[in-house]
Structure 1
Amino acid sequence: MSPPNTTHTTGDADSASDDDLDLDELDPIVNSSRRSRADDSSEPGARRPVNGSTNIPLQRLQRFGSSRLWPSTGKRGRGDDGTEDTEGLLGSWPGHTQGNGHVRLWSEDQVGWNVRPERYQRVNRQESISHGRDTASRRSSVRQSMQISDFVRQELADMRENEQEFSSQESREVSVGHAQKKRFPTNVVSNAKYTAWSFLPRTLYNEFSFFLNVYFLLVALSQIIPFLRIGYMSTYIVPLAVVLSISIGKEAVDDIVRRRRDAEANAELFTVLTFSDTARDGAVEVHKRSRDIKVGDVLKLEKNHRVPADLVILQSHLTELTLDATSDSTTAPSAQAAGETFIRTDQLDGETDWKLRLPSPLSQNLSLKDLQRLKVTAGAPDKKVNQFIGTLELQPSLAPAYDPHVLKDGPAEDGPSSNDPDRTVGNRQNSAPLTIDNTAWANTVLASSTVTYGVVIYTGKQTRSALSTSPSRSKTGLLEMEINNLTKILCIMTLTLSIILVALEGFEPSNKKPWYVAITIYLILFSTIIPISLRVNLDMAKTVYAYFIHQDKGIPGTVVRTSTIPEDLGRIEYLLSDKTGTLTQNEMQLRKIHVGTVAYAGEAMEEVAAYVDQAFATGETQDVHVSELGATTKTRREIGVRVRDLVLALALCHNVTPTADEVDGERVVSYQASSPDEIAIVEFTESVGLRLLQRDRESIVLQSVSTKQVVIRAEIKEIFPFTSDSKRMGIIVHLSSEVPGLSHIEEQWFFQKGADTVMSSIVAANDWLDEETANMAREGLRTLVVGRKKLSLEQYRNFSSEYADASLALRERDAGMAAVVKKYLEHDLELLGVTGVEDRLQKDVKPSLELLRNAGVKIWMLTGDKIETARCVAISARLVARGQHIHTMAKLKAKAQGKDALDVMRNQSESCLLIDGESLALMLSHFRHEFITIAVQLPAVIACRCSPTQKADVARLIRKHTKKRVCCIGDGGNDVSMIQAADVGIGIVGKEGRQASLAADFSIEQFCYLTKLLVWHGRNSYKRSAKLAQFIIHRGLIISVCQTMYNIAGHFDPKGLFKDWLMVGYATVYTMAPVFSLVLDRDVDEQVANLYPELYKELKSGKSLSYRTFFTWVLVSVYQGIIIQGLSQLLVGEVDGPRMLSVSFTVLILNELIMVAVSVTTWHPIMIVCIVGTAAFYAASVPFLGDYYDLAYMASWSWAWRVAAVGAISLVPVWGGKVIRRTWKPPNYRKVQAI
């Protein structure tokens, strides 16, 4: 087969009109030919129908009276539709045998189900060609037979809509390389939240869903009503417009960025195969934009190509294995290629390790033209990225004879219909199961140097990537909720003050205004009490905090993904941490093995290497080692055999694949696997003398490190991959060896390794397993139990038969396959040994945990490891203080046991709790409230053998019970649910990938960065936002008090004091910058914050912004407002007028600037610029305020001394009280500064 050499670049290769598409769906026989000739239809001699209308065969019209234009899948092949048998017309398929609907091929040299493509019985090419000619001759006459009337066309359109409703919920059959009957979603990527038409309505709706925005909108609209008007409408519209513009503008910028990314992804070009009889090898390469890719398209992908849709991999060939251009088109391409390919899934599930993917043996060696004979049966779209069940079928012939009386389900070139006996009584060779190993989901990337062909089975919103992308829980910070409560109090204060003023005047006022109108006017006048800019200022502050975190060189790589909750970092009371990869490095190294009678670790591993070298020696070295071995004792020989068997099992039972790449011109071999544990084991076997030289889907080759010769060849019969549910993996291999001493192992073996909790019931009875796994766990090692079983020919044949049947099931496939494995394999395994893998602690974990504990944070460790390992890590990491008692709660199964355990824990409030997953499940089921009440009071809790669901349940339970801030930190995919359930989720970019990092609110690179994130950035963010909120509230309250004094002095006449631009300028240009500059303030430096973590502990009470501090600021505002307005009126000698207004407003501005200045603890240059610059800007703007001020009076000494006097009386008592309070009872940060 030669590679396709014709390339077209189009926006959409499917250019058929809607009418043509209807014809294609009605007559798939015509479909294949029309589509294959679509690109060549403009050539001279191309045949076109005389009648341009759409035509269908008569047989189709006979079915228009039924509910559907084509029969349902469930009725095909049953012979109940009145169609006659087509075997005589279509012919039989050479080589098929009658059976149970599958093709089974048995061979003498290899027992079991064989689906290897080189054994396929192929259809005679000449017969195929003759069939194609007959079909072509019939096609031209059929197309002239009938025209589709309008009512048929409408019925077809209605039916297609119904089909679309079910296409996302039912299993689907995808004909490879053909247009599909059912309509599926387009492959358009759309992450934009808005369209051009919906942007403004939706953003306005979102903004006005906030009460404050609605409130200020009503206030602004009230100025339209003449008897409610108290000034220019712009006075109230401009502040609201500024707030809305900032929020809406931010949404617009974010959506534009999303749209640009979407446009780039949708416009990316991909190579798609179209099938044509005129092409030399039956396939033509065209380029399609990603958005135009459809279900059934065959894509060609190469290294570093992004996968645009969910694919089933059909073929994969090494790029170096190029095809001879002169080869016959019917020859299987690259038959030498094994078919393995690797993909990167970090953008899908966050895991950085390469994943091995394989094409089905059924399709790997087909010619490109024969790919259109395939049909994929897949389940409904699902968001489970690690699961897939499907079936691949190969149609018996390329172009069967056409029978007008038979309604076919597939395209003309797609083989016989389901009525064909070849299909219903065919052989198992005609179909093969599909699993997750045969797929490449959208947004993964091809990582290996291969050319891969895959058929699209899910597009657009039905891809795994789109379905698994769910919006995370919207998180609201604790400070924001507290401010909302204070805002409600301000609303009540506004209404109360309005009613009081109306009541003081009397509800029958002399100005003839009804009392309710007067109340409304007062509500408008006092609207400044409720700060419209509060939410915008706090949002802007959060952006500043995120910038500080991102720019901090002390915690490089830290990313803020949720900018709405930085203040919560300063309020954490419970920290829930994963162990592996979070507290530990997730850099695995096999440190110890135990073979039943002896353990090896450290320098003793040299003895293991000697045993391996002896066992796998060849040639002259064999004679030397045999003589040496003969001199040893029988016991040592037995130990050597056990060591050899264990190392051999470890070298075979894994999912590791060696990959070669060029780095700086040198060939570098690395290991790829889904787990660091697997790589650690393979690196160990290499270190002791047995190297993994080569591995593909069919074989494993092992090499002796010392002799550089191949010593073991293993033919892979079956692999049972590791899952979090099974906690084990296994492999069936047929071993062969050229080493004379290993001839006895040339049998079929089942090897398995897994957690001791599951393997203890699978291996044969022994008296040392439990003790040794416990010993290793106490050393902090992760243990794996290894076993094996020899399979006879009959055992394997029976297993293979039942397992093959179970693997083809579309329902309960996994359960059925697991049951077969358990029946034949997973019992009475020979116990070979136990391995211990070390996972060292992360950098600075011990001081970090100690600092957090001193900061008042209670730490829980939730892990999937066993009790002994968790206990050891907790002690070594100083999670448990020295000398602290650890109370263990394990293996509780009965409700009575749980009650007794809780009674014991009530009297051990100073102890740490160590609980296993089984006992935790019992507590969460029967003693939920009692357990959490006791547990949250303990200094530390260690939960082991936890599932991801249990981790999330614990996080939610603590949040609900304590109402405190809970932080969860982890690095793996199994930590995502816990991270998302927390108030603050922190993900670590680790060896297990970026899934936790992407799902978290904050992403860090090391656990020790957490202390700075909380103790420094979290504390500063909370204290800064609290101070900022209080100043904004003070700014609105003080001007409202001035307004109240003015109305009282004016005999309760509800009119405004500061009107128009004075009002707008006060809340914006005259005070906004100095107040906002408080986000740069800090009370202590970083070194002091780390040295005295107790400063963080005091934030738990929320004293920085509480009801006490709020009402303190209310009293200050009331005092200063009364002084400023009352003294201004008194000293100037007028209740109203430009002179009084100039004194009052000037003092109001200076008072706010000086209040900001005296509250600053650590000055920043920007703060000085803001305060001085704002004062200068106000002075420069005075000449333009002649409509409000008496400018000549402001130039006199009389104005100056009045301003100074009013300002001093307003500020000095407040400042003096603050100094006295700090001296009498200084805050903690003042105390540590004095040390």
Structure 2
Amino acid sequence: MSDEKRIVKALKDHLNAKGKPLFVSNSIRTHKYTVLTFLPLNLYHQFSRLANFYFLIIVLLLQFKWAPISANAALFPLVIVIGISAIREAIEDFLRWRSDQRVNATPATKLVNGAFTECRWDEIKVGDIIYLKKNEQIPADAVFLSSNESSGTAYVDTCNLDGETNLKIKQAIKETLQLTEPQALINADMQVECDLPNNNLYVFNGNIRVNGSQHPLDDAALFLRGSILRNTNFAIGLVVYTGHDSKIMKNSCDARTKRSLLERGLNWKLISIFITILCLSLAASISGFIYEQKTINESMVWYFYRNKENRRNPPYAFFILFVSHIIVINAMIPISLYVTLEVVRVFQAMFVTMDSEMYDEEIGVGCSSRTTNISDDLGQIEYIFSDKTGTLTRNVMDFMKCSINGKIYGSGITEVGYAAAKRQGLDVEPPKKNQKFYDEKFSQLLKSDTPEMVKHFLLLLSTCHSVIPEKDDTQPYGIIFQAPSPDEAALVQAVADMGYVFKERGVDYIKVEINGEEKKIELLANLEFTSARKRSSVLIRHPDTKKCIIYMKGADDTILKRLKEETDLEIQTRQHLVEFSNSGLRTLCLAYKELDEKFVQDWLARYKEANCLVVGRDEAVSKVSEEIEKDMNLIGATAIEDKLQEGVPDAIDSCLKAGIHCWMITGDKMETAINIGFACSLLSSDMVIVKINEETIGADIDKAEAAVGDLALVIHGAAIPDLLDKFVDRFIELTKRCHSVICCRVSPLQKAQIVSVMRQKTKAMALAIGDGANDVGMILEADVGVGISGKEGRQAVLASDYAIGKFRYLKRLLLVHGRMNLYRNIECIFYSFYKNMAFTFNQMIFACYSHFSGQTMYDGVLYTIFNVFFTSVPIVVYSAYDRDISLEAMMEYPELYKLDGKKKWLQSYPLFLLNLLYGVVHAFCAFYVTFLFCGNFVSHDGYQITLAEYAVTVYQCVVAIVNIKIASLFKYWNWMVWLFVWGSILIYPLLVLLLDKMKISRNLAGLSIRWLREPVYWFSTIGAMILVSIPIVLQILIMDGRNSLRNRIIFASRAKDQSKKVMSQELSDVSKINDHIL
């Protein structure tokens, strides 16, 4: 094996200089841990989290004998949190281990000692020859050698790899077709040179040397591990990649971990609280230390000193005080926060998946949440970057028109053409349902003497493609045309209807039935389409003239610049292309050239040599292809309609009203893109539309900057490199003004670059949505990636965070789930800090009465279970179920998304500090209401209140107060809210009673009998609840009484106000009333 390529010899052991295997085994391991490594590795990962590490330090500090509370008080919740995560991780990893064992033990068949012998998958090595049976899963990446089909074809199901359900055809090279018997395989001297292992499922560069003769290999000759052999009795392959070197395993690595904007800001909030703890502890320690020094010789406070060492060593005494106060108030940081958020997000993801309103019955697909980390980011989207074909359109192609030799054929009007005509005030008939290509004149041409150029047109479309014919007797021609893109299938289907039926593809031939007569056309070379080439070509020997001819089809800008010379035909065709584009039709240009036999043979030798390269193949093939794909003769153009998806205009209009900037990024012509933009409500007649082209980029930017009014940009792909480099700052400022931007003639790489630059420069949340492999780059670059289950495979879905069936469901995903998830999760985070502040700050108040001695007020057991039993469930119920208005109203008033979702103050430090202040105030309420009722209490039998009884009462007040607070957040009450809010309050005295009976804590011994019977205990609780409820109710009344736009929307939706027309008019002018926004 070299540093640049892999060399594999058939039926040979590949060993290094030390006699060890040169390549990895076919055994796989996806589990992370072993029995020995689980505990240390899992603990390392868990304590990498800031909050977990903090509580670990607290637990360690509690090991000192002078610690004010038991170590169990902090250890128990930490063990619970760490334990839950560890158990979940252990179960998941055990399932992965068991899956690995099952996969590695799967039976397979390989050639051993002259016979095909059964073996396990993990016994297969690089260089082995494997025998594959029908419906059997392929155990390793292997070069396809032969099959039971004489043509050397085999069908594979790649659903496990890319999610695509249509079968893929694999083609063996002609030189290995006959190698089906063990002895023939042993006698053949075979060596493969190929790429080093990589993760590209669709690219394989290599060559195979058979008995000294070298032949090129590509991805069509490679079986991939995990795919399944279908419709083929058997196939034989030579293993080149095994185990973790196989392409499916190379693709199994984790994608970029996305963290939500809320979570990214969470660490800073945790650090802020930690600094607060240090400051409070320092102040309390100084006060306590001063008191100690003043009273050091006073015998009346002898119990104040922990030991004699403290008296002789003041710094040590101060250190003990400082650490003690940190321990006492450490619970200001909520240990349950991360667990709560994880649970909440699981529920939110589950509700997204279960939403029946986003289930598409046509394709039988609902919305699926492929991640739980970024559910709240859906409520903060400011930019949507959308593909066009298959995303905004149906990706159901209908051949509508064509231009051949300067004449247009085909009648009818498209949806986009109809919309354009109506904008111009023209009176035209709407498009007919299910209309396709029809032209009486063209039909007559096919029946009589067909012009030579028309024959070229038909033969080109029936041969220059990558369609796979599948036999199906139920179809008109007994064939289903399986194609990598709907465009290809539509064109092949169209010429089949015209009498040129594509029948079969072999290694070196194509069969086409021409007007009922089947002809076998010699295939000399096939130059396939790529996004970089933007064209495909086929070199054939003409079935009638036997001349060598190259046919080429592709994007108009690519084909037209490869023509021999400009002619009247080219001028006419350009005009036709503009006419087609104005109707929203997708266009391709067609060209041909007859070639000299000697030139062809010389060129084929160079082409084969380039294809045999492993390193630098693409560049070499591209260079050789340029030699033949030039000086072409124009035939004409095709025009295909791709209708808009249902609900797209409404979805885009709603997103624009929600304050989201909408971008359409497409590879289509500028005219096509603009007309599609109008049809889908991305553009409107009252917008100032500025086009930016490469040649006039500076002047175009000046024009856009000087424009007054609602601005929209239409950008040509050739201008994007300069816009993202030289003019990037001006470009970013321009796009901030634009509600709509269209980018046309854009490559997949440019899509990703646009999203990346916009996300980094604007610091705004970006969502990218697409349906094809060319959208994967921008989906991965965006903060939120959405894949559409379309006709171009499932690569986009597999790379996405959320998957939907149609673009229109994006509206509900953002306006309903996104908005709700955002405000729920913000409240979840703020409430978690608030309740812990309300609980813990009582310790600081108590410190004032205990001379800052660093002692705790609460019992250790109760201190431990505060977050677990009394406050955890209500916030989860709130974050999973609550909503302020009906789901229908959220869809009807998208402005709410703008008013709520994009308000940065919702996550700001001032609001965070305000919630902490609430906690401090409510701590004072709990402490001093208890003091008011119980401070001078003397029971009927003469006993005064003890510290334990006082602390238990304060604790009960805190539990009641924080649950009243969460109750005030609920807008949607149901039985669960009543049960868990009031249940959390009422369960406290029952739990105290239980702890007393169990004799777990000395502080609680006998307390339930003595104290819980006293009326002042219950008066304190009720008094605290009333005291806290009054300002909460007043705040709600004041906020709801404000004449804000948000309140008017909410009240209108709740009351189902009939004056919606007046409201809609008011909403259209949101910018004029920003001063009323919350």
- Mapped to 2, the partners of 1:1230 and 1:734 lie a distance apart of 71
Q: Say whether 1:489 aligns with 2:293.
A: no
Q: Say whether 1:292 aligns with 2:86.
A: no
| Residue of 169, 191, 200 corresponding to 1:356 | 169
| Residue of 55, 63, 74 corresponding to 1:224 | 63
| Residue of 744, 764, 788 corresponding to 1:964 | 764
Note the C-alpha offset of 1:508. Answer: 5.8
**C-alpha offsets along residues 662-714 of structure 1, whole Å, 9 cap, x if unaligned?**
889x9963112222211111110122222223332332222256xxx315431
- Mapped to 1, the partners of 2:931 and 2:946 lie a distance apart of 8
Counterpart in the other structure of 1:643:
454
Q: Say whether 1:517 aligns with 2:353.
A: no
Code of the aligned partner of 2:467 = V
Deviates more, 1:527-536 or 1:245-254: 245-254
Counterpart in the other structure of 1:413:
none
Code of the aligned partner of 1:728 = R
Note the C-alpha offset of 1:752. Answer: 1.2
Counterpart in the other structure of 1:171:
5
Code of the aligned partner of 2:243 = G
1:312 aligns to what SS in structure 2?
strand
Counterpart in the other structure of 1:722:
529
| Residue of 1014, 1022, 1025 corresponding to 1:1207 | 1025
Against the structure 1 CA distance between its residues 536 and 448, is the aligned structure 2 distance closer, same or farther, given a 3 Å change threshold? same
Code of the aligned partner of 2:618 = D
Counterpart in the other structure of 1:795:
599
Note the C-alpha offset of 1:524. Answer: 0.7
Conserved in 2, the CA contact under 8 Å of 1:1027 and 1:1104? no
| Residue of 855, 860, 866 corresponding to 1:1060 | 860
Note the C-alpha offset of 1:608. Answer: 6.0
Code of the aligned partner of 2:319 = Y
Code of the aligned partner of 2:6 = R
1:348 aligns to what SS in structure 2?
helix
Counterpart in the other structure of 2:347:
544
Code of the aligned partner of 2:634 = L
Counterpart in the other structure of 1:1158:
968
Against the structure 1 CA distance between its residues 608 and 994, is the aligned structure 2 distance closer, same or farther, given a 3 Å change threshold? farther
Q: Say whether 1:926 aligns with 2:926.
A: no
TM-score of the two chains, using structure 2 as the length reference: 0.87
Counterpart in the other structure of 2:1064:
none
**C-alpha offsets along residues 382-423 of structure 1, whole Å, 9 cap, x if unaligned?**
33333323222223xxxxxxxxxxxxxxxxxxxxxxxxxxx6
Code of the aligned partner of 1:610 = S
| Residue of 804, 809, 812 corresponding to 1:1009 | 809
Note the C-alpha offset of 1:346. Answer: 4.2
| Residue of 338, 356, 365 corresponding to 2:178 | 365
- Mapped to 2, the partners of 1:310 and 1:771 lie a distance apart of 49
Counterpart in the other structure of 2:438:
605
- Mapped to 1, the partners of 2:748 and 2:13 lie a distance apart of 42
Counterpart in the other structure of 2:108:
270
Q: Say whether 1:207 aligns with 2:46.
A: yes
Q: Say whether 1:832 aligns with 2:642.
A: no
Conserved in 2, the CA contact under 8 Å of 1:609 and 1:688? no
Q: Say whether 1:1081 aligns with 2:882.
A: yes
Across the aligned residues of Structure 1 and Structure 2, the Cα RMSD in angstroms comes to: 2.4
Conserved in 1, the CA contact under 8 Å of 2:815 and 2:894? yes
Conserved in 2, the CA contact under 8 Å of 1:750 and 1:791? yes
Q: Say whether 1:192 aligns with 2:15.
A: no
- Mapped to 1, the partners of 2:754 and 2:607 lie a distance apart of 39
- Mapped to 1, the partners of 2:787 and 2:834 lie a distance apart of 38
- Mapped to 2, the partners of 1:854 and 1:862 lie a distance apart of 20
- Mapped to 2, the partners of 1:663 and 1:221 lie a distance apart of 75
Counterpart in the other structure of 1:1180:
990
1:1194 aligns to what SS in structure 2?
coil
Counterpart in the other structure of 2:1073:
none
Pairing 1:30-69 to 2, within 5 Å after superposition: none
Counterpart in the other structure of 1:748:
548
Conserved in 1, the CA contact under 8 Å of 2:531 and 2:748? no
**C-alpha offsets along residues 885-931 of structure 1, whole Å, 9 cap, x if unaligned?**
32111133xxxx54333222212362211111110112223222222
Counterpart in the other structure of 2:1000:
none
Against the structure 1 CA distance between its residues 862 and 1203, is the aligned structure 2 distance closer, same or farther, given a 3 Å change threshold? same
**C-alpha offsets along residues 44-65 of structure 1, whole Å, 9 cap, x if unaligned?**
xxxxxxxxxxxxxxxxxxxxxx
Counterpart in the other structure of 1:304:
135
Code of the aligned partner of 1:818 = S
- Mapped to 1, the partners of 2:269 and 2:375 lie a distance apart of 20
Counterpart in the other structure of 2:422:
none
Deviates more, 1:1203-1212 or 1:785-794: 1203-1212
Against the structure 1 CA distance between its residues 199 and 964, is the aligned structure 2 distance closer, same or farther, given a 3 Å change threshold? same
- Mapped to 2, the partners of 1:200 and 1:247 lie a distance apart of 12
Against the structure 1 CA distance between its residues 226 and 341, is the aligned structure 2 distance closer, same or farther, given a 3 Å change threshold? same
Code of the aligned partner of 1:553 = S
Against the structure 1 CA distance between its residues 863 and 260, is the aligned structure 2 distance closer, same or farther, given a 3 Å change threshold? farther
- Mapped to 2, the partners of 1:390 and 1:667 lie a distance apart of 37
Pairing 1:901-920 to 2, within 5 Å after superposition: 901-908=700-707, 910-920=710-720
- Mapped to 2, the partners of 1:1106 and 1:1225 lie a distance apart of 24
Counterpart in the other structure of 2:434:
none
Code of the aligned partner of 1:1216 = L
- Mapped to 2, the partners of 1:945 and 1:222 lie a distance apart of 63
- Mapped to 2, the partners of 1:865 and 1:195 lie a distance apart of 53
2:591 aligns to what SS in structure 1?
strand
**C-alpha offsets along residues 951-982 of structure 1, whole Å, 9 cap, x if unaligned?**
11211211211211111111111111111111
Code of the aligned partner of 2:371 = T
Code of the aligned partner of 2:228 = V
| Residue of 241, 250, 274 corresponding to 1:467 | 250
| Residue of 919, 922, 927 corresponding to 1:1117 | 919
Conserved in 1, the CA contact under 8 Å of 2:404 and 2:454? yes
| Residue of 986, 1008, 1019 corresponding to 2:819 | 1019
Note the C-alpha offset of 1:1150. Answer: 1.7
- Mapped to 1, the partners of 2:851 and 2:807 lie a distance apart of 65
Number of corresponding residues: 972
Deviates more, 1:652-661 or 1:519-528: 652-661
Unmatched segments (≥5 aa) in structure 2: 17-21, 296-303, 311-316, 360-365, 413-436, 937-944, 997-1002, 1058-1078
Against the structure 1 CA distance between its residues 1199 and 180, is the aligned structure 2 distance closer, same or farther, given a 3 Å change threshold? closer
Against the structure 1 CA distance between its residues 899 and 1183, is the aligned structure 2 distance closer, same or farther, given a 3 Å change threshold? same
Counterpart in the other structure of 2:657:
854
Counterpart in the other structure of 1:116:
none
Code of the aligned partner of 2:914 = T
Against the structure 1 CA distance between its residues 501 and 273, is the aligned structure 2 distance closer, same or farther, given a 3 Å change threshold? same
Conserved in 1, the CA contact under 8 Å of 2:387 and 2:775? yes
- Mapped to 1, the partners of 2:408 and 2:1042 lie a distance apart of 67
Unmatched segments (≥5 aa) in structure 1: 1-166, 277-283, 319-336, 396-422, 424-429, 615-624, 630-636, 737-742
Conserved in 1, the CA contact under 8 Å of 2:163 and 2:795? yes
1:605 aligns to what SS in structure 2?
coil
Code of the aligned partner of 1:651 = S
Percent identity between the two aligned chains: 28
- Mapped to 2, the partners of 1:205 and 1:658 lie a distance apart of 55
**C-alpha offsets along residues 1069-1117 of structure 1, whole Å, 9 cap, x if unaligned?**
1222123221211111110001111111112013434323222222222
- Mapped to 1, the partners of 2:683 and 2:98 lie a distance apart of 51
- Mapped to 2, the partners of 1:1142 and 1:820 lie a distance apart of 86
Note the C-alpha offset of 1:1124. Answer: 1.3
Note the C-alpha offset of 1:190. Answer: 2.0
Pairing 1:523-542 to 2, within 5 Å after superposition: 523-542=326-345
- Mapped to 2, the partners of 1:822 and 1:1115 lie a distance apart of 72
| Residue of 675, 682, 685 corresponding to 1:872 | 675
Counterpart in the other structure of 1:394:
210
Conserved in 1, the CA contact under 8 Å of 2:820 and 2:883? yes
Q: Say whether 1:781 aligns with 2:585.
A: yes
| Residue of 590, 608, 611 corresponding to 1:804 | 608
Counterpart in the other structure of 1:713:
520
2:62 aligns to what SS in structure 1?
helix
Against the structure 1 CA distance between its residues 589 and 205, is the aligned structure 2 distance closer, same or farther, given a 3 Å change threshold? same
Counterpart in the other structure of 2:194:
378
Conserved in 2, the CA contact under 8 Å of 1:1132 and 1:1139? no
1:549 aligns to what SS in structure 2?
helix
| Residue of 500, 503, 506 corresponding to 1:696 | 506
